[in-house]
Structure 1
Amino acid sequence: MKEELIMDTKERLIVALDLAERERVLGLVSQLHDCCGMFKVGLEPFCNYGPAFVKEIQEAGGRVFLDLKFHDIPRTVAQAGRAAARLGVAMFNVHIAGGREMLRAVVEEVEDETGGKRMPLIIGVTVLTSLGAEELFNDLGIERQPLDQVLFWAEIAKECGLSGVVASPREIAAIRERFGEDFLIVTPGIRPAGSSAGDQKRISTPGEAINAGADYIVVGRPILQAVDSREAARRILREMEESRDERK
């Protein structure tokens, strides 16, 4: 369920800590914790430093989006979800491709672990932003276009009680129209104007994503690789705020 309170702009920004160097990551958390809502901890830093690293980020003032994309048999994912809840993360994700039984199991176990209070947001991964129609067909045997596949998986996620989905900027408007305002959309593939796309195929600017209806945007390299990471984050916040003003 979508949070009742209207989020401040900074709460909508998630900074992706996709770096291997522990001290550099903690330094960035110290610099940025008051100008973003969460820090995304993905596979590389988590595998390097483990659950204790999540606690270090929390102790430094950061809320954590645990981006491990759980995808396994139902019991395994359900127990991983329990562990994520015990870590106190604000959000974690699972692959919708794991199926309805897996999705329902993780929601039920996390509700049981938390007593339904202060539950982490459970977000379903749809189509990775590194994949286009050609990769979906040639590599995964999926004949739907990316938008159709995203909507198919998003419907399953909502049916199974997930908080929302991860989806590229190109699918935001269609998800919002079909599933309403109470279904969260977390959007990676965000690149400020003039930035390199890197390995992402379905990208957008911060302003475009907010205008389309994203609840959270995830930004990594444009902040991490900036000469002044704090100023880079603040520029993104200004663009988001201007876009919100335009929508009013």
Structure 2
Amino acid sequence: MSKSIYIALDFPTWEESRQFLSENGLHEIPVKVGMELFYREGPRVIENLKENNHPVFLDLKLHDIPTTVMKAMSNLANLEVDMVNVHALGGSEMIKRAKEGLESGSNSSHQTKLIAVTILTSMDNETMNQEILLPGELEKNTVHFANLAKQSGADGVVCSVHEAQKIKDACGIAFSTVTPGIRLQQSGNDDQKRVATPGFARKNGADFLVIGRSITKAENPYEAYQQAVKEWETDGIIK
């Protein structure tokens, strides 16, 4: 098991998620729970995972007025997940209130990391400029949002592997980089545009990886997970 690699449980139900983990021998590994699963099953899916010793990244990408996000985070704090996230586009005040909610809602010494999403890995520079009407270069905007997140109390950001090292340079080594869009060496890109292998991610400043279909849709998910760990631990140099 690697504490740095989270498998994305992109399944519609807890039963399918449980079956996937159990049948493939993926016990106690870190997992990411996103909107699809959480909106169907609610907090009980987190409770079930924690009962089976799975570290959890709760990927809900909250983005609303500051007071609403603060109250939501206060409720989510009781789940005691490892990480939960908001959109950095919500602005400094929203991020600050999200952190406040996490801290005020916690009933124990457990500290949930607040992570801010910078630019989605499904976007490229053209999409950002022409559809979102956000001018400038994607990399510079990503680093800007990372700095904004850090100054507002976040513990790290979700970013593409390709911006991770720049964020480390700007925000410091202790500021966490969570990188989706990870594909094993033999996998395709699917709908992600800014992708990378685990080995490249390790060399380029990533702290945590989120891997979905390269493992969940693999012919042998257990072997695919072990391959991901091997690529991560050897910087992609597979002997």
SS in 1 for 2:61: strand
SS in 2 for 1:140: coil
* Aligned 1:29-178 pairs, distance under 5 A: 29-30=21-22, 31-34=25-28, 36=29, 38-114=30-106, 117-178=109-170
Q: 8 Å contact 1:63–1:89 — kept in the other structure?
A: yes
In 2, the alpha carbon distance for the partners of 1:144 and 1:120 equals 33
**Structure 2 CA distance for partners of 1:84 and 1:244, relative to 1, 3 Å:** farther
> Across the two proteins, how many residue pairs are aligned to each other?
236
Which runs of structure 1 show a deviation greater than 3 angstroms over 4 or more consecutive aligned residues? none
In 2, the alpha carbon distance for the partners of 1:104 and 1:117 equals 20
Q: Normalising by structure 1, what TM-score? A: 0.90
In 2, the alpha carbon distance for the partners of 1:115 and 1:178 equals 33
In 1, the alpha carbon distance for the partners of 2:98 and 2:78 equals 13
User: Which amino acid counterpart does residue 142 of structure 1 have in structure 2?
Assistant: L
- More deviation, 201-210/110-119: 110-119
Q: 8 Å contact 2:230–2:236 — kept in the other structure?
A: no
**Structure 2 CA distance for partners of 1:79 and 1:18, relative to 1, 3 Å:** same
Report the Cα offset of residue 117 of structure 1. Answer: 2.8
In 2, the alpha carbon distance for the partners of 1:116 and 1:154 equals 28
Report the Cα offset of residue 24 of structure 1. Answer: 2.1
RMSD: 1.8
Q: 8 Å contact 1:29–1:57 — kept in the other structure?
A: no
**Structure 2 CA distance for partners of 1:72 and 1:222, relative to 1, 3 Å:** same
More helix by share: 1
User: Which amino acid counterpart does residue 169 of structure 1 have in structure 2?
Assistant: V
Report the Cα offset of residue 138 of structure 1. Answer: 1.5
Report the Cα offset of residue 163 of structure 1. Answer: 0.5
